[in-house]
A and B are shown apart, each in its own frame.
Chain A
Amino acid sequence: MSELVIETKGLSKRYGDVIAVDALDLAVRRGEVFGLLGPNGSGKTTTILMLLGLTEPTAGSVQVLGLDPARQPLSVKARVGYMPDEVGFYEELTARENLVYIAKLNGLPRDEAYRRIDEVLARMGLSEVGDRRVATFSRGMRRRLGVAEVLLKQPQLIIMDEPTQGLDPEGARELLHIIRELKGEDITILLSSHLLYQVQAVCDRVGLFHRGRMVLEGTVSDLAQQVLGSTYRIQLQADGPASTLMKALQHLPGVVNIERDGDNRYQVAAANDLRAEVANAIVTAGGRLLMLNVEAPSLDDIYARYFQEVEHVAAA
């Protein structure tokens, strides 16, 4: 069942002396949402362009849906939907006319094209404005039109470059909702972003890019384990003698670190979710538990920590 939709081996791209992508091994399974993370200029967009056959790799191999994008670009591009980071449309044409052009380039027969256009416009909530010129569209509407265009060719794989960039929170939320819906339809999605909480919300797996290399890969909790060491951070508030409580907590198996944040506030770092054990320990030690909360690791933490470490190593 783990059919690979994207597989790259030793994929590299060099622009003169600059190495944009360095020996990338990437594998994305069917039906998965994979997030490419990394700062600007870390090679995400170059990787995407190579997957689409829009840029020739300097070395290595790419397989997209079992095809080689450099040799069979038409078959690849007919099956893969691509939404660039800045979606542009022909401003003087209406939304519908823009889609008709794309449908024609895809060689769709006329009736089929019109049927699909109505369908995708309705799906993206653009039916009402389909005959308005794109020049009058807001950024959020343009993004949705971008998704409509991608859906027009009924792709098996969708690649989105920075899909939520420049959107207001409401627009971003809508777009993430759409991505989740598409995932439910067995469409594989590859997206790149540097907005971490959004990626975390929709991605099954992520890959962290740094200077053209994918330095970390896995689920968000995997990465947290690798980078932060402990996965769970438990915050609690309890009245009682601090030293007794600290001692009681330290004896719990799986606790990595305890910090006292304030008068009666503590932060426990643990390898797994120890909420019940912590509550029990506080109460048995004679403390009055006021508040208990677990904070799942966020990609932001992982990201920040990872790049901190990288800089430390570089400085040393």
Chain B
Amino acid sequence: MSLQLKQARRERVREGSPWTGLWAVVAKEMADHLTSVRMHILEVLIVLTAAGTVYAAMQSLRNSVGQDPFLLLKLFTTAREPLPAFVGFLGFLVPLIAIALAFDSVNGEFNRRTMSRILAQPIYRDALLLGKFLAGLFTLALVLTAIWLLIIGLGIVGLGVPPSGEEVARSLWFLLASVFYGGIWLALAMVFSVVFRQPATAALASIAVWLFFTVFWEILAGLIAPVLRPVRFGFPEEILAQTQLELTLTRLSPNTLYGEVMLALLHPTVRSVGLVLPIQLQGAVLGTPLPLRQSLLLIWPQFTGLVAATILLFALGYVLFQRQEIRA
């Protein structure tokens, strides 16, 4: 009896690991990304941006060397007219790179007629999709790490101040957050590449979503909140409820989450990314930096939000891909 059950269970289970061949896919896809013209263009773009903004930031920081304990972090966040700060650029360069890496990942295989040939090899679809996603994520991480090193190097040479351990740790967490922020757009572009057969459609759809969250979502949140939580009598409770709803709504956007993570990690003096009532500030010494642990605690929900959104979007693409018919 139990033997039969065991056998029945074994028959229902698929043979072998779903990740057979995963690293072969990752290696091949990464090699493709790193040698593609598309990637070279983006690399040049981001290096130029980094060099330009950091150079500008250094010009304005020269005067304050020695006064600020977090000089290195200032390199990322200091803007000098007419250029925005480097992090401002990252906010839209990262999605751009991520979308460029993934928008033709699945439909491209169909269009090149390689999909059925690849899936006729002894691997599961799981390995193919995860392999493509990881290759994109690793490529993104590689590019961002290179930029990160470049900026730190420029900082040491240009300002002559070695970075402190705290600064390095903060900027490393920031790097990690940037990778997952990119992961969201990577997974989104991948979902569209499963859904749409034309790579151009997938690219446009991804960019449309990105534009929606970058430009329109904040405006929409500002319109929706007063409708759902109107201020009728002008009580502070009403105003508070409305503002809180608006904040919650804007946090549905990955851009907002990333912006808040960035703020808390790169500005150690930031104590809150939400509403602060005067009563909560009692006894606080304003302008003193928080330790890294406290800053992390502050943006932990946002950070996990970024990771969770990445995983959810990937899972969606995964389900859609598993159900797709292979015949073109």
User: Which residues of chain A have a CB within 8 Å of any CB of chain B?
Assistant: 15, 45-46, 49, 52, 54-55, 71-75, 77-78, 80-84, 86-92, 101-102, 104-107, 146, 149, 153
Contacts and interface: CB of A to CB of B under 8 A. Distances in A.
B107 to A, nearest CB: 13
Interface SS of chain A: helix, strand, loop or mixed?
mixed
B24 interface: yes
Interface string B43-84: 000000000000000000000000000000000000000000
Contacts of A46: 327
B325 interface: yes
A83 B32 CA distance: 24
Find the residue from B15, B20, B21, B325 having the highest chain A CB count within 10 A. B15
Contact of B116 (A54, A105, A153): A54
B277 interface: no
Given A88-B113, A90-B114, A104 B21 contact: yes
Given A45-B327, A46-B327, A71-B14, A105 B24 contact: yes
Contacts of B117: 82-84, 87-88, 102, 146, 149
Given A90-B114, A104-B27, A105-B122, 17 more contacts: A15-B325, A54-B116, A54-B326, A71-B15, A77-B122, A80-B120, A81-B120, A84-B120, A86-B328, A87-B113, A87-B117, A88-B113, A90-B112, A105-B21, A105-B25, A105-B123, A149-B117
Find the residue from A49, A74, A87, A89 having the highest chain B CB count within 10 A. A74
Interface in B310-328: 325-328
B258 to A, nearest CB: 33
Contacts of B328: 86
Contacts of B36: 92
B49 to A, nearest CB: 27
B156 interface: no
Nearest to B23: A104
B327 A102 contact: no
A55 B120 CA distance: 11
Contact of A71 (B11, B20, B116, B123): B11
B119 interface: yes
Contacts of A82: 116-117, 120
Interface residues of B, number: 28
Interface string B1-28: 0000000000100111000110011011
Contacts of A107: 20-21, 122
Nearest to A88: B113
B121 interface: yes
A45 to B, nearest CB: 6
13 contacts: A49-B326, A71-B11, A71-B14, A74-B122, A88-B113, A88-B117, A102-B117, A104-B28, A105-B123, A106-B122, A107-B21, A107-B122, A146-B117
A74 B122 CA distance: 5
Contacts of A75: 15, 122
Contacts of A45: 327
Given A45-B327, A49-B327, A74 B20 contact: yes
Closest 10 CB pairs of A and B: A88-B113, A104-B24, A82-B120, A78-B122, A105-B121, A77-B122, A88-B112, A74-B122, A74-B16, A72-B15
B161 interface: no
Find the residue from B16, B112, B122, B326 having the highest chain A CB count within 10 A. B122
Contacts of A52: 120
Contacts of A102: 117, 121
Given A54-B326, A84-B113, A105 B118 contact: yes
Nearest to A75: B15
A27 B102 CA distance: 43
Interface in B107-142: 112-114, 116-124
A77 B114 contact: no
Given A88-B113, A89-B114, A54 B122 contact: no
A81 B20 CA distance: 18
